Amino acid sequence: MINKNVYFQVLRLLETPGIGVAKVREIMELAGQSNVTVEEFLSDYNIIENFLKEAQFSTFISNEKPILKLWDKLLEKGVNFLIINDKDYPGSLINRLGKKAPPFLTIIGNKELLNKPSVGFCGSRKASPKGIETARDCAQQLSIAGININSGYAAGIDMATHCAALEALGTTTIVLAEGILNFKIKRDIKDLFDYNKVVVISEVLPGIPWSVRQAMERNKTICSLSKAMILIESGINGGSMAAGKTCLNLGIPLFAPVYEEMPTSAIGNQELLKRGANPLLKSRKSNRANLSKVLEIILDTNDINNNAY
Protein backbone atom coordinates (compact mmCIF):
# COMPACT_ATOMS: atom_id res chain seq x y z
CA MET A 1 0.00 0.00 0.00
CA ILE A 2 1.26 3.46 -0.89
CA ASN A 3 0.69 4.82 2.63
CA LYS A 4 3.25 2.30 3.88
CA ASN A 5 5.95 3.74 1.61
CA VAL A 6 8.64 5.41 3.72
CA TYR A 7 9.18 8.26 1.26
CA PHE A 8 5.48 8.98 1.06
CA GLN A 9 5.26 9.12 4.85
CA VAL A 10 8.21 11.52 5.10
CA LEU A 11 6.65 13.73 2.42
CA ARG A 12 3.38 13.75 4.37
CA LEU A 13 5.19 14.88 7.50
CA LEU A 14 7.06 17.65 5.70
CA GLU A 15 3.90 18.85 3.95
CA THR A 16 2.07 19.13 7.29
CA PRO A 17 1.99 22.80 8.44
CA GLY A 18 4.06 23.37 11.57
CA ILE A 19 6.29 20.33 11.07
CA GLY A 20 9.71 21.44 9.93
CA VAL A 21 12.82 19.59 8.81
CA ALA A 22 14.24 19.59 12.36
CA LYS A 23 11.25 17.63 13.67
CA VAL A 24 11.31 15.22 10.73
CA ARG A 25 15.05 14.74 11.20
CA GLU A 26 14.46 13.93 14.88
CA ILE A 27 11.78 11.36 14.02
CA MET A 28 13.95 9.73 11.38
CA GLU A 29 16.98 9.62 13.64
CA LEU A 30 15.00 7.73 16.27
CA ALA A 31 13.55 5.52 13.55
CA GLY A 32 17.07 4.55 12.56
CA GLN A 33 17.83 3.60 16.15
CA SER A 34 14.67 1.54 16.66
CA ASN A 35 14.25 -2.23 16.51
CA VAL A 36 11.92 -2.00 13.50
CA THR A 37 12.53 -0.77 9.96
CA VAL A 38 12.22 2.94 9.22
CA GLU A 39 9.22 2.13 7.05
CA GLU A 40 7.45 0.31 9.90
CA PHE A 41 8.35 3.10 12.32
CA LEU A 42 6.93 5.87 10.12
CA SER A 43 3.80 3.86 9.32
CA ASP A 44 2.87 3.42 12.98
CA TYR A 45 0.53 6.31 13.75
CA ASN A 46 0.73 5.62 17.48
CA ILE A 47 4.46 6.35 17.30
CA ILE A 48 4.06 9.43 15.08
CA GLU A 49 1.41 10.87 17.40
CA ASN A 50 3.94 10.98 20.23
CA PHE A 51 6.10 13.45 18.27
CA LEU A 52 3.39 15.86 17.14
CA LYS A 53 1.07 18.39 18.70
CA GLU A 54 -2.60 17.44 18.58
CA ALA A 55 -3.42 19.87 15.74
CA GLN A 56 -0.38 18.72 13.75
CA PHE A 57 -1.30 15.09 14.12
CA SER A 58 -4.89 15.79 13.10
CA THR A 59 -3.68 17.56 9.95
CA PHE A 60 -1.22 14.75 9.23
CA ILE A 61 -4.01 12.16 9.42
CA SER A 62 -6.29 14.17 7.14
CA ASN A 63 -3.73 15.07 4.46
CA GLU A 64 -3.34 11.61 2.93
CA LYS A 65 -5.53 12.22 -0.15
CA PRO A 66 -3.99 15.57 -1.20
CA ILE A 67 -0.50 14.17 -0.68
CA LEU A 68 -1.45 11.16 -2.82
CA LYS A 69 -2.27 13.59 -5.66
CA LEU A 70 1.09 15.28 -5.17
CA TRP A 71 2.77 11.86 -5.06
CA ASP A 72 1.18 10.90 -8.38
CA LYS A 73 2.53 14.10 -9.97
CA LEU A 74 6.01 13.26 -8.71
CA LEU A 75 5.87 9.72 -10.06
CA GLU A 76 4.57 10.97 -13.42
CA LYS A 77 7.58 13.29 -13.66
CA GLY A 78 9.94 10.40 -12.89
CA VAL A 79 10.99 11.69 -9.48
CA ASN A 80 12.91 9.44 -7.10
CA PHE A 81 13.64 10.01 -3.43
CA LEU A 82 16.35 9.69 -0.81
CA ILE A 83 16.03 10.01 2.94
CA ILE A 84 18.91 10.52 5.29
CA ASN A 85 18.62 6.92 6.56
CA ASP A 86 19.25 5.45 3.08
CA LYS A 87 22.60 3.78 2.53
CA ASP A 88 23.12 5.65 -0.75
CA TYR A 89 22.26 9.07 0.72
CA PRO A 90 25.33 11.29 0.04
CA GLY A 91 27.69 10.75 2.95
CA SER A 92 29.36 14.11 2.38
CA LEU A 93 26.11 15.92 3.28
CA ILE A 94 25.98 14.11 6.61
CA ASN A 95 29.68 14.50 7.35
CA ARG A 96 29.74 18.20 6.59
CA LEU A 97 26.29 19.42 7.60
CA GLY A 98 25.57 17.02 10.46
CA LYS A 99 22.12 17.58 11.89
CA LYS A 100 21.51 20.30 9.29
CA ALA A 101 21.76 17.83 6.40
CA PRO A 102 18.48 17.81 4.42
CA PRO A 103 16.48 14.75 5.57
CA PHE A 104 14.61 14.32 2.28
CA LEU A 105 15.83 14.77 -1.30
CA THR A 106 13.78 14.62 -4.48
CA ILE A 107 15.74 13.46 -7.52
CA ILE A 108 15.42 13.14 -11.28
CA GLY A 109 18.13 11.44 -13.28
CA ASN A 110 21.21 9.42 -12.38
CA LYS A 111 21.37 9.47 -8.58
CA GLU A 112 24.67 7.54 -8.61
CA LEU A 113 26.33 10.85 -9.50
CA LEU A 114 25.59 12.11 -5.97
CA ASN A 115 28.40 9.94 -4.62
CA LYS A 116 30.81 10.49 -7.50
CA PRO A 117 33.94 12.64 -6.85
CA SER A 118 32.79 16.15 -7.69
CA VAL A 119 33.87 19.77 -7.95
CA GLY A 120 31.36 22.53 -7.34
CA PHE A 121 31.11 25.83 -9.19
CA CYS A 122 29.50 29.11 -8.22
CA GLY A 123 29.83 32.67 -9.42
CA SER A 124 28.17 35.66 -10.97
CA ARG A 125 25.01 35.45 -13.04
CA LYS A 126 26.46 38.36 -15.05
CA ALA A 127 30.00 37.08 -15.41
CA SER A 128 32.36 38.66 -17.91
CA PRO A 129 33.25 36.79 -21.11
CA LYS A 130 36.62 35.98 -19.50
CA GLY A 131 34.83 34.57 -16.45
CA ILE A 132 32.60 32.36 -18.61
CA GLU A 133 35.63 31.20 -20.60
CA THR A 134 37.48 30.33 -17.38
CA ALA A 135 34.48 28.47 -15.96
CA ARG A 136 34.05 26.44 -19.14
CA ASP A 137 37.77 25.64 -19.31
CA CYS A 138 37.82 24.35 -15.72
CA ALA A 139 34.62 22.32 -16.14
CA GLN A 140 35.86 20.76 -19.39
CA GLN A 141 39.24 19.75 -17.94
CA LEU A 142 37.64 18.23 -14.85
CA SER A 143 35.01 16.39 -16.87
CA ILE A 144 37.64 14.85 -19.11
CA ALA A 145 39.40 13.70 -15.93
CA GLY A 146 36.19 11.91 -14.85
CA ILE A 147 35.11 14.45 -12.23
CA ASN A 148 31.43 15.30 -11.80
CA ILE A 149 30.43 18.99 -11.90
CA ASN A 150 28.03 20.43 -9.29
CA SER A 151 26.28 23.76 -9.70
CA GLY A 152 23.01 25.59 -9.16
CA TYR A 153 21.45 25.93 -12.66
CA ALA A 154 21.43 29.75 -12.58
CA ALA A 155 22.38 31.92 -15.54
CA GLY A 156 26.04 32.81 -15.99
CA ILE A 157 28.69 30.65 -14.35
CA ASP A 158 26.32 27.85 -13.28
CA MET A 159 24.90 27.24 -16.73
CA ALA A 160 28.31 27.59 -18.38
CA THR A 161 29.73 24.79 -16.24
CA HIS A 162 26.73 22.45 -16.63
CA CYS A 163 26.94 22.83 -20.41
CA ALA A 164 30.73 22.50 -20.57
CA ALA A 165 30.58 19.27 -18.58
CA LEU A 166 28.08 17.70 -20.96
CA GLU A 167 29.89 18.98 -24.05
CA ALA A 168 32.99 17.17 -22.75
CA LEU A 169 30.89 13.97 -22.40
CA GLY A 170 31.07 14.31 -18.62
CA THR A 171 28.39 14.42 -15.92
CA THR A 172 26.77 17.15 -13.87
CA THR A 173 24.61 17.64 -10.79
CA ILE A 174 21.95 20.36 -10.81
CA VAL A 175 21.02 21.51 -7.29
CA LEU A 176 17.75 23.42 -7.32
CA ALA A 177 16.63 26.29 -5.11
CA GLU A 178 12.98 25.40 -5.78
CA GLY A 179 10.72 22.38 -5.66
CA ILE A 180 11.46 19.70 -8.23
CA LEU A 181 8.00 19.99 -9.83
CA ASN A 182 9.11 23.43 -11.03
CA PHE A 183 12.16 22.05 -12.83
CA LYS A 184 12.31 22.57 -16.59
CA ILE A 185 15.12 21.84 -19.02
CA LYS A 186 16.34 25.27 -20.09
CA ARG A 187 16.95 26.17 -23.70
CA ASP A 188 20.70 26.71 -23.18
CA ILE A 189 21.22 23.08 -22.16
CA LYS A 190 18.37 21.33 -23.99
CA ASP A 191 20.42 19.89 -26.86
CA LEU A 192 22.99 18.45 -24.43
CA PHE A 193 20.64 17.10 -21.78
CA ASP A 194 20.88 13.40 -20.97
CA TYR A 195 19.44 11.99 -17.73
CA ASN A 196 22.10 9.29 -17.73
CA LYS A 197 24.67 12.05 -17.33
CA VAL A 198 22.63 14.47 -15.22
CA VAL A 199 21.08 14.32 -11.79
CA VAL A 200 18.67 17.03 -10.63
CA ILE A 201 18.11 17.29 -6.88
CA SER A 202 16.10 19.47 -4.53
CA GLU A 203 15.87 19.64 -0.75
CA VAL A 204 12.81 21.88 -1.03
CA LEU A 205 9.22 20.63 -0.93
CA PRO A 206 8.12 19.68 -4.47
CA GLY A 207 5.83 22.61 -5.29
CA ILE A 208 7.74 25.46 -3.63
CA PRO A 209 8.89 28.31 -5.93
CA TRP A 210 12.43 29.76 -6.00
CA SER A 211 13.47 32.11 -3.21
CA VAL A 212 16.68 33.84 -2.10
CA ARG A 213 16.65 31.99 1.24
CA GLN A 214 16.42 28.63 -0.53
CA ALA A 215 19.20 29.65 -2.92
CA MET A 216 21.45 30.28 0.07
CA GLU A 217 20.59 26.87 1.53
CA ARG A 218 21.06 25.27 -1.89
CA ASN A 219 24.59 26.71 -2.01
CA LYS A 220 25.45 24.88 1.23
CA THR A 221 24.35 21.65 -0.41
CA ILE A 222 26.44 22.32 -3.54
CA CYS A 223 29.47 22.97 -1.34
CA SER A 224 28.90 19.88 0.78
CA LEU A 225 28.49 17.58 -2.22
CA SER A 226 31.84 18.80 -3.56
CA LYS A 227 35.39 17.83 -2.64
CA ALA A 228 36.49 21.28 -3.81
CA MET A 229 34.78 24.45 -5.05
CA ILE A 230 35.75 26.89 -7.78
CA LEU A 231 34.32 30.38 -7.37
CA ILE A 232 34.39 32.76 -10.33
CA GLU A 233 33.76 36.51 -10.20
CA SER A 234 32.07 36.89 -6.85
CA GLY A 235 30.79 40.21 -5.66
CA ILE A 236 31.54 41.41 -2.15
CA ASN A 237 28.00 40.44 -1.12
CA GLY A 238 25.40 37.98 -2.37
CA GLY A 239 25.07 34.27 -2.94
CA SER A 240 28.50 33.59 -4.44
CA MET A 241 30.30 35.27 -1.55
CA ALA A 242 28.09 33.39 0.93
CA ALA A 243 28.93 30.11 -0.83
CA GLY A 244 32.63 30.93 -0.67
CA LYS A 245 32.45 31.65 3.05
CA THR A 246 30.47 28.44 3.58
CA CYS A 247 33.23 26.43 1.90
CA LEU A 248 35.91 28.01 4.05
CA ASN A 249 33.86 27.48 7.22
CA LEU A 250 33.27 23.81 6.35
CA GLY A 251 36.91 23.21 5.46
CA ILE A 252 36.17 22.57 1.79
CA PRO A 253 39.09 23.65 -0.44
CA LEU A 254 38.05 26.80 -2.29
CA PHE A 255 39.73 28.04 -5.47
CA ALA A 256 39.33 31.54 -6.87
CA PRO A 257 40.68 32.22 -10.37
CA VAL A 258 42.99 35.18 -10.81
CA TYR A 259 43.41 36.64 -14.30
CA GLU A 260 44.09 39.91 -16.03
CA GLU A 261 41.35 42.47 -16.46
CA MET A 262 39.06 40.97 -13.85
CA PRO A 263 35.90 43.10 -13.64
CA THR A 264 35.39 45.35 -10.62
CA SER A 265 32.29 43.26 -9.85
CA ALA A 266 34.64 40.37 -8.96
CA ILE A 267 36.06 42.09 -5.91
CA GLY A 268 34.81 39.16 -3.81
CA ASN A 269 37.50 36.91 -5.27
CA GLN A 270 40.23 39.02 -3.67
CA GLU A 271 38.38 39.06 -0.36
CA LEU A 272 38.06 35.28 -0.33
CA LEU A 273 41.73 34.87 -1.22
CA LYS A 274 42.55 36.92 1.88
CA ARG A 275 40.32 34.60 3.91
CA GLY A 276 42.09 31.43 2.77
CA ALA A 277 40.91 30.56 -0.74
CA ASN A 278 43.53 29.13 -3.10
CA PRO A 279 44.47 31.22 -6.15
CA LEU A 280 43.74 29.45 -9.42
CA LEU A 281 46.22 30.53 -12.09
CA LYS A 282 46.78 29.82 -15.77
CA SER A 283 49.42 27.30 -16.80
CA ARG A 284 52.05 28.85 -19.07
CA LYS A 285 52.59 25.47 -20.70
CA SER A 286 48.98 24.75 -21.69
CA ASN A 287 47.59 28.30 -21.59
CA ARG A 288 44.65 26.86 -19.63
CA ALA A 289 43.70 26.94 -15.96
CA ASN A 290 46.19 24.99 -13.85
CA LEU A 291 44.00 22.45 -12.06
CA SER A 292 46.77 20.22 -10.73
CA LYS A 293 46.08 21.11 -7.09
CA VAL A 294 42.33 20.69 -7.56
CA LEU A 295 42.81 17.25 -9.10
CA GLU A 296 45.22 16.27 -6.33
CA ILE A 297 42.50 17.00 -3.77
CA ILE A 298 39.74 15.28 -5.75
CA LEU A 299 41.69 12.12 -6.41
CA ASP A 300 42.82 11.75 -2.80
CA THR A 301 41.80 8.24 -1.72
CA ASN A 302 40.58 9.52 1.64
CA ASP A 303 37.16 10.29 0.18
CA ILE A 304 34.74 12.20 2.42
CA ASN A 305 31.83 10.81 0.39
CA ASN A 306 31.97 7.54 2.30
CA ASN A 307 28.67 7.40 4.17
CA ALA A 308 29.33 7.48 7.90
CA TYR A 309 25.75 7.92 9.12
**Same domain, residue pair 285 and 145:** yes
**Same domain, residue pair 60 and 137:** no
**Same domain, residue pair 57 and 204:** no
Please check whether residue 90 lies inside any domain of the structure: no
- Amino acid identity, residue 3? N
The count of structural domains within the chain is 2
Q: What is residue 177's predicted lDDT score, i.e. its pLDDT?
A: 97
Task: Identify whether the C-beta of residue 104 lies closer than 8 Å to the C-beta of residue 10.
Answer: yes
Please check whether residue 43 lies inside any domain of the structure: yes
Please check whether residue 151 lies inside any domain of the structure: yes
Helix axes 6-14 and 21-33, enclosed angle (nearest 10): 150
Please check whether residue 103 lies inside any domain of the structure: no
Whole domain around residue 147: which residue ranges? Answer: 111-298
Please check whether residue 63 lies inside any domain of the structure: yes
Tell me what percent of the residues of the chain surpass a pLDDT of 90: 74
User: Given a cut of 90, is residue 102 above it in pLDDT?
Assistant: yes
154-158 own/partner pairs: CB under 8 Å, 24+ apart: 154/125, 155/125, 155/126, 156/123, 156/124, 156/125, 156/126, 156/127, 156/131, 156/132, 157/121, 157/122, 157/123, 157/124, 157/125, 157/127, 157/131, 157/132, 157/232, 157/233, 158/121, 158/122, 158/123, 158/125
User: Given a cut of 70, is residue 40 above it in pLDDT?
Assistant: yes
Q: Looking at residue 229, which CATH number applies to its domain?
A: 3.40.50.450
Domain boundary among 32, 55, 76: 76
Please check whether residue 307 lies inside any domain of the structure: no
**Same domain, residue pair 124 and 262:** yes
**Same domain, residue pair 155 and 272:** yes
Secondary structure, 3-state, 49-87: HHHCCHHHHHHHHHCHHHHHHHHHHHHHCCCEEEECCCC
218-222 own/partner pairs: CB under 8 Å, 24+ apart: 218/152, 218/175, 218/176, 218/177, 219/122, 219/152, 219/243, 219/246, 220/97, 220/100, 220/246, 221/93, 221/97, 221/102, 221/175, 222/120, 222/122, 222/150, 222/151, 222/152, 222/175
pTM summary value? 0.92
Q: Across all residues in the chain, what is the average pLDDT? A: 91
Q: What is residue 305's predicted lDDT score, i.e. its pLDDT?
A: 41
**Same domain, residue pair 28 and 174:** no
Please check whether residue 101 lies inside any domain of the structure: no
Of 33-37, 248-252, 303-307, the range with the lowest mean pLDDT is 303-307
**Same domain, residue pair 147 and 229:** yes
**Same domain, residue pair 273 and 202:** yes
Of 106-110, 141-145, 184-188, 233-237, the range with the lowest mean pLDDT is 233-237
Give the confidence band of 302 by pLDDT, cuts at 50, 70, 90: very low
**Same domain, residue pair 11 and 134:** no
Q: State how far the alpha carbon of 128 is from the alpha carbons of 65, 104, 218, 229, in Å.
A: 50, 36, 24, 19
User: Given a cut of 90, is residue 229 above it in pLDDT?
Assistant: yes
Q: What is residue 309's predicted lDDT score, i.e. its pLDDT?
A: 24
Give the confidence band of 15 by pLDDT, cuts at 50, 70, 90: very high
Please check whether residue 27 lies inside any domain of the structure: yes
**Same domain, residue pair 31 and 146:** no
Domain boundary among 50, 76, 102: 76
Return the higher-pLDDT residue of 126 and 70: 70
Domain boundary among 52, 76, 100: 76
Q: What is residue 306's predicted lDDT score, i.e. its pLDDT?
A: 38
**Same domain, residue pair 115 and 163:** yes
Q: What is residue 308's predicted lDDT score, i.e. its pLDDT?
A: 30
**Same domain, residue pair 252 and 182:** yes
Per residue in 118-142, pLDDT (tens digit) is 999 999 898 999 999 999 999 999 9
